């Protein structure tokens, strides 16, 4: 049975494909259309499908549209209709949203060229999130906590999974949304509402005590109560007036970042830590298992994730590589499979390497089209490691593209963590972003505990989802990856999960005695590169010193 999963309701448009219960492909639309997040999150476009991503999934598996047995869309229009309340936002916008949702079936059937009838499944959004974390985790039972902006109307959902059955046990509906709260404050601090990661990075520079009392009135979370102040969310007309009275005037996009802004970010992070920790304790009481799965956009907050992992409420914590909305394409497909098939789908396949790969012919054609001449390396891992050790910034383009927002060694920019100046160079000359933004280390699994306070390693450590403390006696040796608070968003690299990347870091270790490299996404104010042509375009317009694509490489002097 072949199941196509689709997410396009809000943002992070994506597609995924299950073949006989095995996840064979998953990819985000932005990597093909080069539009960040695939499309804007608007009320009038849930029917705009990730067409490129869908075609890739089918082509990769050698299937045609006629081979697809079921299609799963990660949103339930009926659930939205029954739970929406007119006082939340303009009913005219809601009417537009519902009308466009009504076009989803036609859009899918037109793309596939066939009628689907009962083969199209509208999967509740938070069920899709939950399934996207639970089935790849490999657990046979787990508590599942989904926290995001909004699903149909739920913003946080506590669920229980046993075998192939996932059951919601409690839900907190709009306006009680931590995800939306982050969007509001991200805008207030002068960033795009997609830039929660910037606020998370800025938080380390602030003092959470300065605005702690204000946030106590905004985000309430303890053993009994949980809620977000409605007057700061949605389209409340006095939202920014209230915020200005509490925090001072909002920051303009191009204005200086002041200590006050860092203090707001720090207080928001602290309030989020407290709220999520309270939800973790709450779900432990309701679902007293040893395993916890986290999903939803808030599960990209690596600082909070680390607190959850260290809380010891659960013995095992799993977060997929794409806990945000893109991952619901996978989850919707799993949910539809379980609905139609008695046989359990594949469990425990958590690999993020689910996108396209490109062979020598594709790479050579892109190089020739660019008018360049590449050299061949007998040992790309060795040559790239030598360049990094010599202070060069290397683009590493290998194998299948990662699924999720992090570059995990196949579409990465790599550099030497020993250089104190490399962070400034990467931020200013390559990534063109704020200087306070940190960079992540990719470390050999065999040596991770020697450099970072990792604790028990899990598959989710391979996805850059935990902010581990850097060991004090190692911090001066790798200044480029140590954040202001002494942490680092670590990616642990195993030989099994990514042998090419593991080989490169091993070569760097042999040369320098440091078993890690800086790893940041291969992009410049754009989606992560997908195809060889994308890689060459970004390479040529930036200050990257070398680009390795399989065993071919280009240098800045090429």
Number of domains in the chain: 3
CB neighbourhood size of 116 (10 A)? 15
CA–CA separation, 14 vs 7, rounded Å?
5
Q: Which two tokens stand for residue 480?
A: 């480029």
pLDDT of residue 342: 81
460 and 512 co-located in one domain: yes
129 is catalytic: no
**Helix, strand or coil, per DSSP, at residue 273:** helix
CB distance 535 to 397 below 8 Å? yes
Flag whether 200 is in a domain. yes
Q: Say what the pLDDT of residue 242 is.
A: 86
Query: Residue for token digits 């209709």?
Result: 81
Q: What pLDDT is attached to residue 231? A: 77
Do strands 291-295 and 316-318 pair parallel, antiparallel, or not at all (unpaired)? Answer: parallel
- C-alpha 123/C-alpha 238 separation (Å) is 35
Nearest-10 Cα torsion for 90, 95, 96, 101: 130
DSSP per position, 236-253:
-TTHHHHHHHHH-SPPPT
Tens-binned pLDDT, residue by residue, of the chain (558 aa): 999 999 999 999 999 999 999 999 999 999 999 999 999 999 999 999 999 999 999 999 999 999 999 999 999 999 999 999 998 899 999 999 999 999 999 999 999 999 999 999 999 999 999 999 999 999 999 999 999 999 999 999 999 999 999 999 999 999 999 999 999 999 999 999 899 999 999 999 999 999 999 999 999 887 778 899 887 776 566 778 889 999 999 999 999 999 999 999 999 999 999 999 999 999 999 999 999 999 999 999 999 999 999 998 999 999 999 999 999 999 999 999 999 998 899 999 999 999 999 999 999 999 999 999 999 999 999 999 999 999 999 999 999 999 999 999 999 999 999 999 999 999 988 888 898 999 999 999 999 999 999 998 899 999 999 999 999 999 999 999 999 999 999 999 999 999 999 999 999 999 999 999 999 999 998 999 999 999 999 999 988 999 999 999 999 876
Q: Which of 11, 126, 261, 461 is catalytic?
A: 11
| CA distances for 331 relative to 17, 73, 230, 426, angstroms | 10, 10, 30, 35
Report d(CA 152, CA 76) in Å as an integer: 7
CATH of the domain at 236: 3.30.420.40
Cβ proximity of 293 and 142 under 8 Å? yes
Long-range contacts, 534-541 (Cβ 8 Å, 24+): 534/34, 535/366, 535/395, 535/397, 535/411, 536/366, 536/367, 536/370, 536/372, 538/395, 539/395, 540/370
Q: What is the pLDDT of residue 234?
A: 63
Closest residue by Cα to residue 166 from 209, 137, 205, 197: 137
DSSP string, 322-388: --SGGGHHHHHHHHHHHHH-SSPPP-S---SB-S----HHHHHHHHHHTT---EE-S-HHHHHHHHH
Tokens of 313: 């409420």
Residue 355 lies in a domain: no
| 310 and 204 inside one domain | yes
Kindly state whether residues 303 and 183 are assigned to the same domain.
yes
Picking from 307, 340, 373, the residue at the C-terminal end of a domain is 340
Tell me the two tokens of residue 453: 């306070």
Question: Are 100 and 230 members of one domain?
Answer: no
CA distances from 62 to 19, 33, 373 (A): 11, 22, 33
For residue 223, what pLDDT is reported? 73
Q: Does residue 253 sit in the same domain as residue 107?
A: no
527 lies in the same domain as 405: yes
Contact 30, 527 (CB under 8 A): yes
Same domain, 188 and 225: yes
- The DSSP string of 33-49 is H--TTSS---TT-TT--
Considering the domain architecture, whether residues 278 and 332 belong to the same structural domain is answered as: no
| Burial bucket for residue 476 (CB in 10 Å: 0-12, 13-18, 19+) | exposed
> Where do the DSSP E strands lie in 193-257?
219-221, 226-228
pLDDT at 240: 81
Same domain (yes/no): 335, 400: no
Specify whether 335 is located in the same domain as 385. no
For residue 236, the model assigns a pLDDT of: 61
Beta-bridge partner residues of 394 = 414, 546
Annotate 180-211 with b (16+ C-beta within 10 A) or e (fewer): bbbbbbbbbbbbeeebbbbbbbbbbbbebebb
Question: Is residue 220 assigned to a domain?
Answer: yes
Element containing residue 124 per DSSP (H, E): none
Question: 372 and 304, same structural domain?
Answer: no
Three-state SS at 491:
strand
pLDDT at 206: 98
Asked if residues 483 and 438 have their Cβ atoms less than 8 Å apart, the reply is: yes
> What's the pLDDT at 221?
85
Task: Name the β-bridge partners of 291.
Answer: 316
Specify the CATH number for the domain of residue 514. 3.90.870.20
Domain boundary among 276, 308, 340: 340
For residue 196 the two structure tokens come to: 């929660």
Q: Is 25 helix (H, G, I), strand (E, B) or coil?
A: strand
Q: Tell me, yes or no, whether 133 lies in a domain.
A: yes
pTM confidence score: 0.97
* 121: containing domain: 2-142+162-169+321-340
> 171 is written with which tokens?
């839900």
In this prediction, residue 331 carries a pLDDT of 98
């Amino acid at each position: 049975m072949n199941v196509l999963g689709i997410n396009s309701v809000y943002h992070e448009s994506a597609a995924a494909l299950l073949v006989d219960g095995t996840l064979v492909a998953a990819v985000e639309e932005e990597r093909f259309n080069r539009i960040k997040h695939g499309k804007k999150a608007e009320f009038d476009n849930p029917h705009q499908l990730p067409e490129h991503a869908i075609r890739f999934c089918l082509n990769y598996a050698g299937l045609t549209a006629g081979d697809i047995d079921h299609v799963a869309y990660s949103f339930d229009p009926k659930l939205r209709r029954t739970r929406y309340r007119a006082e939340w936002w303009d009913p005219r916008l809601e009417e537009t949203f519902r009308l466009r949702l009504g076009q989803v079936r036609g859009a899918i059937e037109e793309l596939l060229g066939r009628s689907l009838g009962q083969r199209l499944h509208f999967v509740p959004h938070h069920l899709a999130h939950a399934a996207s974390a639970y089935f790849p985790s490999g657990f046979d039972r787990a508590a599942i906590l989904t926290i995001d902006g909004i699903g149909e109307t739920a913003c946080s959902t506590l669920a229980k999974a046993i075998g192939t059955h996932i059951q919601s046990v409690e839900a907190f509906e709009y306006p009680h949304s931590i995800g939306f709260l982050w969007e509001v404050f991200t805008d207030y601090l002068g960033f795009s509402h997609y830039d929660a990661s910037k606020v998370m990075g800025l938080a380390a520079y602030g003092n959470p005590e300065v605005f702690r009392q204000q946030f106590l009135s905004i985000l309430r979370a303890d053993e009994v109560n949980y809620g977000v102040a409605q007057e700061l969310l949605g389209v409340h007309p006095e939202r920014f007036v209230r915020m200005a009275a509490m925090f001072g005037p909002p920051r303009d996009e191009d204005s200086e970042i002041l200590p006050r802004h860092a203090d707001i970010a720090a207080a928001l992070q602290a309030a989020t830590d407290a709220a999520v920790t309270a939800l973790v304790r709450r779900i432990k009481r309701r679902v007293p298992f040893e395993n916890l799965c986290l999903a939803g956009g808030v599960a990209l907050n690596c600082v909070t994730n680390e607190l959850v992992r260290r809380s010891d409420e659960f013995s095992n914590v799993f977060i997929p590589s794409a806990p945000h909305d893109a991952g619901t394409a996978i989850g919707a497909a799993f949910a539809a499979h379980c609905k139609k098939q008695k046989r359990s789908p594949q469990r425990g396949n958590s690999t993020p390497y689910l996108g396209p790969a490109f062979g020598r012919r594709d790479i050579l054609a892109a190089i020739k089209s660019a008018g360049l001449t590449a050299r061949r390396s007998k040992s790309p891992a060795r040559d790239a490691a030598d360049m990094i050790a010599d202070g060069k910034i290397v683009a590493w383009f290998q194998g299948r593209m990662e699924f999720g927002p992090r570059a995990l060694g196949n579409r990465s920019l790599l550099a030497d963590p020993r250089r104190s100046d490399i962070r400034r160079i990467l931020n200013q000359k390559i990534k063109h972003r704020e200087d306070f933004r940190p960079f992540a280390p990719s470390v050999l699994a065999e040596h991770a505990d020697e450099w970072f306070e990792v604790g028990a390693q899990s598959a989710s450590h391979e996805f850059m989802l935990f902010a581990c403390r850097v060991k004090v006696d190692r911090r001066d040796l790798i200044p480029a990856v140590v954040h202001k608070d002494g942490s680092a968003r670590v990616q642990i690299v195993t030989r099994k999960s990514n042998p090419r990347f593991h080989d490169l870091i091993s070569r760097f270790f042999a040369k320098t005695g440091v078993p890690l490299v800086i790893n940041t996404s291969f992009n410049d104010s754009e989606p992560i590169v997908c195809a060889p042509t994308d890689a060459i375009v970004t390479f040529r317009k930036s200050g990257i010193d070398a680009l390795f694509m399989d065993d071919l490489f280009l240098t800045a002097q090429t």
